[in-house]
Amino acid sequence: MLVSPAHPPTDLRIVRNQAPSLAEQYEVICLLPDAHSVKQPGVRFIGLPFFRWLGWRLLLVHPLVLVHIIRLRPAVLHIYMPELLPIALLSRLFGVQVVYEVQENLRLKFDRKPRNNHPVFQRAFAGFERLARRYCYHLFTEDSYFATYPNLRLPPAVVHNYPNLSFFDALRPVDSPAEPVDDGPHLLYVGVVSFDRGLDTMIQVLSLLQATLPAIRLHLFGRCIATQAELEALPDYSVVRGNLLFYGHTAPETAYANSKRYVAGLALLKPVGDYSDSYPTKLFEYMALCLPVLSSDFPLYRRVVESAQCGYCVDPMDAGRIAQHLAQLIERPVDTLTMGQRGRQAVETLYNWRGEAVQLLNLYRQIVF
């Protein structure tokens, strides 16, 4: 049983990667918000109500999850949110083994979260995580999380969030020619839209490029947590607001549907929280779609981008330098195409879901005898 009260039914890691891979050997039930209509061979989806505030989830969603656990008695409960640890630990009374997937270093990011960061929640999180170290199998999405979780009683595993190429190939056949763009150039950003993730820098970059490329557009797919007042306080926002396209939270199929029109994908996260030690999933998704990437110059990112020669790593707050690199990509379409192809090759050989699925199944074999 795979459970999250917050991940959408379009989440690629859960719905497109993990659930189908596990379904090859196990009966899989997936509980996600609004998942009633999701169809996936071999996977049974059960919908949960969705609430942004953690308090409502504790009161209205968690009891429902517990009912499903008692009713269905899974051999393994795989949770994606630390808020589910109380229920997960309780489910062990029914003989259920628990996999706790750690997708972020929450200790470093609690204070930067716009909601659900009350000190009461933080203390509860710390207490239940101590118990999880004794009673849960841990699955990490990043190698760096090992240092945060020492002395685990049960063997952990790392399963990176690399793309499933079959999904991305359906969106953009690799060998097809690029689509003509008559109103560009266009830039792409996918993910939570925030200042910590470079929104203010991207706006400044767009202002610099707009001086010579008045038709340039930046497409932002993801929930925006910056307020309108915060945006309007930026000196360049009024200049480029007509060139910014905010789509809100969007299914990956929609966000990447027109990927061939974009010059590059942006991943300009700032050095806050655990960003410098965690791969942004969009980095590999851009590469899978043959898009050159502009990423932060963290050593972790450099090892991917510079070794594959598929883009540029830059100071995420140096708008001038970022604009220069983008101008080069726009002016040299042949070089841009070559960079994108190198990124795709790196994903095919190193950064794809096939190898990660093996690690996931190896962990489950340790649990389910």
> What percent of the chain stands above pLDDT 70?
92
Angle between helices 333-349 and 319-331 (to 10 degrees): 100
Q: What are φ and ψ of residue 15, in 5° steps? A: -80, -40
Q: What is the pLDDT of residue 138?
A: 96
Please name which of 46, 128, 125, 38 lies closest in space to residue 88, comparing C-alpha atoms: 128
Read off the pLDDT of residues 322-351 as tens digits, 9 standing for 90 and up. 999 999 999 999 999 999 999 999 999 999
Q: What is the distance of C-alpha 275 from the center of its chain?
A: 12
Q: Where are the extended beta strands (E) located within 136-269?
A: 137-140, 157-158, 186-190, 217-221, 244-248, 262-267
Q: What is the pLDDT of residue 283?
A: 97
Please name which of 25, 128, 6 lies closest in space to residue 364, comparing C-alpha atoms: 25
pLDDT band, residue 231 (cuts 50/70/90): very high
Token readout for 138 is 């841990």
pTM greater than 0.75: yes
pLDDT band, residue 38 (cuts 50/70/90): confident
Q: How close are the terminal C-alpha atoms of the chain, in Å?
A: 17
In this structure, are residues 283 and 257 in contact, taking their beta carbons and an 8 Å threshold? no
| Euclidean distance between CA atoms 37 and 29, whole angstroms | 14
| Euclidean distance between CA atoms 25 and 21, whole angstroms | 8
Token readout for 213 is 């490329």
> What percent of the chain stands above pLDDT 90?
78
Residues 6 or more apart whose CB falls under 8 angstroms from that of 22 comprise: 2, 28, 360, 361, 364
Please name which of 189, 205, 186 lies closest in space to residue 248, comparing C-alpha atoms: 189
Helix (H) / strand (E) element for 78: namely strand 76-79
Q: What is the pLDDT of residue 177?
A: 44
In this structure, are residues 108 and 274 in contact, taking their beta carbons and an 8 Å threshold? yes
- pLDDT beyond 80 at 172: no
Q: What are φ and ψ of residue 209, in 5° steps? A: -75, -30
Q: Specify the 3-state DSSP secondary structure of 246.
A: strand
Q: Is 230 exposed, middle or buried (0-12, 13-18, 19+ CB in 10 A)?
A: middle
Residue-wise DSSP of 263-290: EEEEE---S-TTGGGS--HHHHHHHHTT
Read off the pLDDT of residues 259-276 as tens digits, 9 standing for 90 and up. 889 999 999 999 988 899
Q: Which residue has the tokens 């979260």?
A: 113
Token readout for 289 is 């779609």
Q: Specify the 3-state DSSP secondary structure of 256.
A: coil
Q: What is the pLDDT of residue 20?
A: 96
| Euclidean distance between CA atoms 267 and 312, whole angstroms | 10
| Euclidean distance between CA atoms 360 and 357, whole angstroms | 5
Q: What are φ and ψ of residue 33, in 5° steps? A: -60, 135
Q: What number is the average pLDDT over the span 57-77?
A: 95
Strands laid side by side in the 28-33 sheet:
43-48, 28-33, 2-3, 76-79, 97-102, 137-140, 157-158
Count of beta carbons in the 10 Å neighbourhood of residue 235: 10
Q: Specify the 3-state DSSP secondary structure of 209.
A: helix
Q: What is the pLDDT of residue 242?
A: 93
Q: What is the pLDDT of residue 105?
A: 66
Check the CA dihedral 7-66-360-174 and report its sign.
negative
User: Could you tell me what percentage of the chain is helix, strand and coil, using 3-state DSSP and rounding each to the nearest 5?
Assistant: 50, 15, 35
